[in-house]
Amino acid sequence: MSDGPVRLALVGTGIAARILHAPALVALGDRFEVVAVANRTPEKAEAFRRELFPGARVYRTLDEVLADPRVEAVDLLLPIAQTAAAAVATIRAGKHLITEKPVAASTREGEEVLAAAAGAKAVAAVAENYRFQPRFRTVRAILGAGDIGAPRLITWSLLWSMTPENPYAKTDWRAAPAFPGGFVLDGGVHAAAVLNLVAGPARSAQAIATRLHSVDGLDNTVSAGIEFASGTIAHLLMTWGARDKEPDMLRVFGDEGEILAASDRIEVRTPAGTREHPIDSGADGYREEFEDFYEAIRAQRPPGVTIADAFDDMAVIEAILASAASGHREPVRTARR
């Protein structure tokens, strides 16, 4: 495995770049050297560079970034409607890719990213931080060890808040979404990622939706039943209309026991008794996703979250939105592997 930092370009210098990726990349300064930053508004890229990565070059477009031979890898932090085309261009340019979620706005667009990634030598990863969080990885490990037998039912209520004053709500592209689903796709894809991580690929979804203090005029509240290929079923309740974010509990019920996963501790209940696992609730998965990306590049192995994994997460949300619109159960169009 060759070593030395990966020469990375950040494309998009908005909120996620500043508060989520930059701190992780600064902490991993031995593994990543940020050599370029790009934004459609160059003054914002320049301010970002000056404050965080003074050694970086400033560009306005992705094409300029891709033409720079110093850039080995690209981190995309763009509005959802821009992501798939930018991911395809990055992969075709032969650069390693890590892109924010969702990997595309639809399965139709996602097919193009999958096709570009198929056979590509460079690493193509998705920064789905929930798939790296210790809480969910521990649930998966407990299930893998067979501690509660075959999982039959998962329940999860995510009661989030999104007010007009929230900086995310104020971004132009969220205020007037040019992509389906608004926050149900933007934030809900994290929940789909966790369910896919825990239960495997999904098969179908049946959902109803409504608006509760919606900031973008779209449905922001969903009650969904999801069926997985394994036979497990899940109930997922999500809203962005709660006054404040409420604590949540992911519950998995199996043939031989139950897992109750809160953000700071996991309880496993079986006929033999109750066992507790403390969880590092400060580990939000951003640093871990970049550690994985670095190792995937240097060891030339697939990343922890592939384009196909993230495609499947987005496909669950697409099926939920389709079902809420049609009133019928809708298939989940998972990636062919």
Residues interacting with ligand NAP, by CB under 6 A?
12-17, 20, 39-41, 44, 77-80, 82-83, 100-101, 129, 168, 171, 173, 186
Report yes or no: 326 and 105 within 8 Å, Cβ to Cβ. Answer: no
The residue with its CB nearest to ligand NAP is 14
- Which CB sits closer to ligand NAP, 75 or 219? 75
- For the bound state, the minimum distance from the C-beta of residue 223 to ligand NAP, rounded and expressed in Å, comes to 23
- Which CB sits closer to ligand NAP, 170 or 275? 170
Report yes or no: 129 and 284 within 8 Å, Cβ to Cβ. Answer: yes
- For the bound state, the minimum distance from the C-beta of residue 149 to ligand NAP, rounded and expressed in Å, comes to 33
- For the bound state, the minimum distance from the C-beta of residue 323 to ligand NAP, rounded and expressed in Å, comes to 22
- For the bound state, the minimum distance from the C-beta of residue 254 to ligand NAP, rounded and expressed in Å, comes to 29
- For the bound state, the minimum distance from the C-beta of residue 13 to ligand NAP, rounded and expressed in Å, comes to 5
Q: First-to-last CA distance in the chain?
A: 27
d(CA 302, CA 233): 29
- Which CB sits closer to ligand NAP, 159 or 314? 314
Per DSSP, helices labelled H in the chain are 15-16, 22-27, 42-52, 62-66, 80-92, 107-117, 134-144, 167-170, 172-175, 183-186, 188-199, 286-299, 307-326
Under DSSP, the state recorded for 17 is: I
- Which CB sits closer to ligand NAP, 107 or 206? 107
- Which CB sits closer to ligand NAP, 180 or 225? 180
Instruction: Choose among 50, 85, 80, 53: nearest CA to 66.
Output: 85
Would you tell me how many other CB atoms lie within 10 Å of the CB of residue 294? 23
- Which CB sits closer to ligand NAP, 160 or 168? 168
d(CA 101, CA 285): 13
Give the amino acid at 96.
Answer: H
- For the bound state, the minimum distance from the C-beta of residue 168 to ligand NAP, rounded and expressed in Å, comes to 5
